[in-house]
């Protein structure tokens, strides 16, 4: 039997949500940060119209999608690369710019796939402490080592939901060595765009990439479309390792139509924020401590790892699945996706009952 590279053999498979409800219970999944409503009808209609030409390969340059994104955000279409979800782009960035002699650095409670991408590239993965589950630029700068090659920062964060101001990201870029690549992952960026702090212009600061996805605010997780704004030199190197037919034609066309229906996506963000904020108030009233959120989920501080595990068992016994965050260094927390109101109500009722029963 052929042996894998040692660094691959040492890896564990990427941990996905466990969604097996007990017998007789209806599954309620609030664990994967999926959108609470479907994509724009215009996106679905556009995708359906491509079925008759599915014998053809998709556009390897994502021309229409790039132009739509450039028009919406006021950026240069030539700097845009699209991937099979933003995970595809994160993995390619690590493949090109990390390795045994180039370490990866991220905040302590960063998106776990950053670590997976580093390990796939056989790179050391370093972390910097966070303050109240919020990225600390000073801690990141203090954690930089001579062989640091990439710094990944998700803003807003996953699984934390917190964010730092754009000015802090600019300070981070300006304080890093010029040879260190800064990757700002804005998978949940649309949920805080109303604050007027889009980061696309930070790419001009040099050696910086900004990533986004259609999986969250656009409700298109099943289409697998991510994108980013790249400096020309980095884009050229990325092209060498990217699958030239990475996004199906139907997904490209649907995503472009979704971009052009910006009002629908903005409405989705508003529809998400209202129940998220109300759930936070309700949970605080019964004794829970949600972290501030600028995303489509809430991270609940349960007080201790034991309490988080106990509450998780209670929820799962009723077929309700939140996401434990031990893998992100937050074993005392559970992450709750903002989903249909009835599902949210059920989860909150079970948590309230658990709290009233005086569980640890």
> How confident is the model over 247-259, as pLDDT tens digits?
999 999 999 999 9
Contact assessment for residue 108 and residue 128, using Cβ atoms and an 8 Å cutoff: yes
Instruction: Report how far residue 302's alpha carbon sits from residue 52's, in angstroms, rounded to the nearest whole number.
Output: 51
Tokens of 19: 């969604």
Q: What are phi and psi of 325, to 5 degrees?
A: -120, 30
Please give the C-alpha separations between residue 288 and each of 158, 307, 345, 346, in angstroms, as whole numbers: 20, 11, 15, 16
* Mean predicted confidence (pLDDT) in 265-282: 96
Query: What is residue 149's predicted lDDT score, i.e. its pLDDT?
Result: 97
Task: Determine the longest span between alpha carbons in the chain, in angstroms.
Answer: 61
Q: What is the pLDDT of residues 50-96, one digit of tens each?
A: 988 888 999 999 999 999 999 999 999 999 999 999 999 999 999 99
Residue 15 confidence class, pLDDT cut points 50, 70, 90: low
Query: What is residue 2's predicted lDDT score, i.e. its pLDDT?
Result: 80
Query: What is residue 18's predicted lDDT score, i.e. its pLDDT?
Result: 64
The per-residue pLDDT of the chain, averaged, comes to: 93
Residue 21 confidence class, pLDDT cut points 50, 70, 90: low
Instruction: Report how far residue 287's alpha carbon sits from residue 228's, in angstroms, rounded to the nearest whole number.
Output: 40
* CATH number for the domain whose boundaries are 41-261: 3.40.640.10
Give the Cβ contact number of residue 176 at 10 Å.
22
Query: What is residue 136's predicted lDDT score, i.e. its pLDDT?
Result: 98
Tell me the domain boundaries of the chain.
Answer: 17-33+263-356, 41-261
Burial letters 328-343, b for 16+ CB under 10 A, else e: bbbebbbbbbbbeeeb
Instruction: Report how far residue 345's alpha carbon sits from residue 338's, in angstroms, rounded to the nearest whole number.
Output: 11
**Which runs of consecutive H residues, i.e. helices, occur in 199-261?**
232-239, 249-260
pLDDT > 80? residue 25: no
**Which of helix, strand or coil describes residue 135?**
strand
H/E element, 106 = strand 103-107
**Total residue length of the chain:** 360
Q: What is the pLDDT of residues 29-39, one digit of tens each?
A: 999 999 999 99
Percent of the chain with pLDDT over 90: 85
* Mean predicted confidence (pLDDT) in 257-269: 97
Of 16-30, 172-186, 330-344, the least confident: 16-30
pLDDT > 80? residue 118: yes
CATH topology of domain 17-33+263-356: 3.90.1150
pLDDT > 90? residue 205: no
Q: What is the pLDDT of residues 280-319, one digit of tens each?
A: 999 999 999 999 999 999 999 999 999 999 999 999 999 9
pLDDT > 70? residue 218: yes
């Amino acid at each position: 039997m052929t042996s894998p590279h040692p660094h691959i053999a040492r890896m564990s498979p990427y941990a996905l949500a466990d969604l097996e409800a007990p017998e007789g219970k209806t599954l309620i999944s609030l664990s994967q940060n999926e959108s609470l409503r479907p994509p724009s009808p215009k996106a679905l209609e556009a995708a359906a119209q491509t079925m008759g030409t599915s014998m053809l390969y998709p556009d390897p340059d994502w021309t229409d999608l790039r132009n739509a994104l450039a028009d919406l955000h006021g950026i240069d279409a030539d700097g845009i690369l699209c991937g099979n979800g933003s995970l595809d782009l994160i993995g390619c960035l690590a493949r090109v710019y990390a390795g045994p002699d180039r370490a990866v650095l991220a905040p302590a409670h960063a998106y776990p796939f950053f670590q997976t991408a580093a390990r796939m590239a056989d790179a050391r993965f370093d972390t910097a402490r966070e303050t109240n589950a919020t990225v600390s630029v000073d801690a990141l700068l203090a954690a930089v080592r001579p062989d640091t090659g990439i710094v990944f920062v998700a803003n807003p964060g996953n699984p934390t939901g917190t964010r730092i101001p754009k000015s802090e990201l600019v300070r981070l870029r300006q304080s890093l060595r010029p040879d260190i690549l800064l990757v700002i992952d804005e998978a949940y960026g649309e949920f805080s765009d109303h604050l007027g702090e889009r980061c696309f212009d930070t790419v001009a600061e040099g050696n910086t990439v900004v990533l986004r996805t259609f999986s969250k605010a656009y409700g298109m997780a099943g289409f697998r479309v991510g994108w980013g704004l790249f400096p020309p030199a980095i884009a050229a190197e990325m092209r060498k390792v990217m699958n030239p037919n990475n996004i199906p034609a139907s997904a490209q066309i649907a995503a472009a139509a979704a971009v052009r229906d910006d009002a629908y996506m903005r409405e989705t963000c508003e529809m998400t924020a209202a129940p998220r904020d109300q759930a936070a108030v309700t949970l605080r009233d019964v004794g829970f401590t949600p972290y501030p959120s600028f995303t489509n989920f809430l991270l609940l501080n349960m007080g201790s790892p034991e309490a988080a595990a106990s509450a998780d068992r209670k929820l799962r016994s009723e077929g309700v699945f939140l996401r434990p965050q031990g893998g992100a260094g937050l074993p005392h927390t559970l992450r709750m996706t903002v989903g249909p109101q009835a599902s949210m109500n059920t989860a909150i009722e079970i948590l309230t009952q658990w709290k009233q029963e005086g569980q640890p």
